[in-house]
Structure 1
């Protein structure tokens, strides 16, 4: 399966070359493919804040490369560069409170700096670590794709109908995607009849990004309004809802793009299995449950406008970015360390003690 996925790889959204970070600008998709070249940490901060890069793993990878760019500038400036670098760490950390992958990546780099020895090439070391984070995420995608595909085959076997929400594909990761990695693998095995994609308002990640990725891979795909998901579950024979995650709490609660919670409730009512696919770096064992997390709320104009054009009345808009899906609504969490069925605190603690699967 790994070789099959590698052979059909079409989309890469993050590249590090010539000492610069290149990002495929997700704000312009699907109509235009434009790459941003980022040479400073300030440019990386802007790209994350303005959603040129989206998806928890991708944001974590971009943040790691941002530290490399910041360290290069601090070293060139002289003085106590390591202390000055803390300001750049702090700036990156506050960008996405719900995205634990970003925090995880930054902490990983911090820990390597602490172990820095006299005579070590600090910049080369940080670049090596950032490249490792990127490569590790790509390998994790391949493992999760295999594990998730096997779940689908085991439970149904025949070509079936899936539904997804948000974007958890190549654009959102360093490789093939989390949820969409599973979809890609299942498609290669002939297990997919059709995939329905929630448009995922207000940023339309599903309609703009997920549908574009799946169509590029030749996967039969249909976009639907978020509010149509329950109806489709009732009349279209949907067997799986497959989603990614911004963060997973220690008890198995899932924080993801707004609308995931209602999707999970609808799935439970209609007997549709819910699979959450995310790397172990998305699991926050310091967060007891999802309700303990303070969520950011986005500007109301995102909801009241489409492509910069006002489509709603001049009223106040409630526009939360994320919601919490309780663990008891989740059938499976798939990570590169293995699969957890009906997740709870004990099962996730056991999972996190494992070494990575090979």
Structure 2
């Protein structure tokens, strides 16, 4: 059974506090948009899909409690738009929250101009947010299917060893995972020999979270330092690198957790296929290339301190971008719920899909 990082029942939202993993397993209440913003910003919840889901469900939880305070639909619509814009500001690099905010803002505007009652408008907005949970799990399972099939077919059905970076599993999504979902699918099909996960400094999402998930689900795995990727590819047969994405641009450039770019460079040198695994909600066709992606910078203390203890020399300055951008020419394929696409064909494939919808 996979971990459940997001709990939603009877209009009540709880999230697994990922800052306390792996030592403690504690769920915290998210009662309103302010709680949602804080949980996202402090990284109690992280991962682009999960950020969007928790953000929208925090709004749903608040609306369920404050429905009676609204006098008219136009007032509700303005408040929804304002709160969604605020949630986007919690972590600007991941595009999923931004896209969900734009979609839900448009939905609420259409509802406010329709003939339904104020009460039904609230119910419709909450229902829209609730559907994100189910849709995300189905999306991730398709990513797992397509990604595992690509890796298996590329290795003539033999068992494989893969590397992953950061955390892209149930803790970063509504369930199952993106890149970790591919690893899960490989394991379920009996084709995984071993999964190597990086520690993912400075926040240690790999050591704390990915390792936690892999052990929890009894998937054969090994933890490595971020600086060991090249040595591992040189000393052992690695069949693929699979990573997630916080934003993919029109040309296939991909923003993901800091350290992804260097893995891609190493993979290119060692002829190891490099796959980006992401739902289409992480693809931002409004941006032409990766240099346009806003890169969040995190507090210096995340680098200088570990578990509250300072490890860096006092007085040293720090540069702490949370993400880097991997150029499209280093990416073998982008694994989505629609299939696996080369970066060069991504835009056209998505346009074709929109035409067929």
User: After TM superposition, is the score higher than 0.5?
Assistant: yes
**For the aligned residues, what is the CA RMSD?**
1.7
* Equivalent pair of 2:2/2:176 in contact (CA under 8 Å): no
2:327 maps to which residue?
326
* Equivalent pair of 1:268/1:329 in contact (CA under 8 Å): yes
1:111 maps to which residue?
106
> What SS does the corresponding residue of 1:353 show, helix, strand or coil?
helix
Normalized against structure 1, the TM-score is what?
0.93
Name whichever of 122-131 and 164-173 sits farther off: 122-131
Alignment of 1:1-358 (within 5 A): 9-72=1-64, 75-79=67-71, 80-116=75-111, 117-120=114-117, 121-156=120-155, 157-314=157-314, 315-341=316-342, 343-344=343-344, 346-354=345-353
Q: Structure 1 261/356 Cα, relative in aligned 2: closer, same or farther at 3 Å?
A: farther
Normalized against structure 2, the TM-score is what?
0.94
> What SS does the corresponding residue of 1:196 show, helix, strand or coil?
strand
Whole-Å separation in 2 of the counterparts to 1:349 and 1:284: 13
* Equivalent pair of 1:278/1:334 in contact (CA under 8 Å): yes
- Give the CA deviation at 1:188: 1.1
Whole-Å separation in 1 of the counterparts to 2:215 and 2:8: 26
Unaligned runs of at least 5 residues, structure 2: none
Whole-Å separation in 2 of the counterparts to 1:38 and 1:196: 33
Deviations 1:8-36 (A, max 9, x none): x3211112112111101111111111111
Deviations 1:188-230 (A, max 9, x none): 1111111111100011000111111111111111111100110
- Give the CA deviation at 1:119: 2.6
Whole-Å separation in 2 of the counterparts to 1:87 and 1:133: 20
Q: Structure 1 269/323 Cα, relative in aligned 2: closer, same or farther at 3 Å?
A: same
Whole-Å separation in 2 of the counterparts to 1:69 and 1:356: 35
Q: Structure 1 270/356 Cα, relative in aligned 2: closer, same or farther at 3 Å?
A: farther
Residue correspondences, number:
348
Unaligned runs of at least 5 residues, structure 1: 1-8
Displaced runs of 4 or more, over 6 A: none
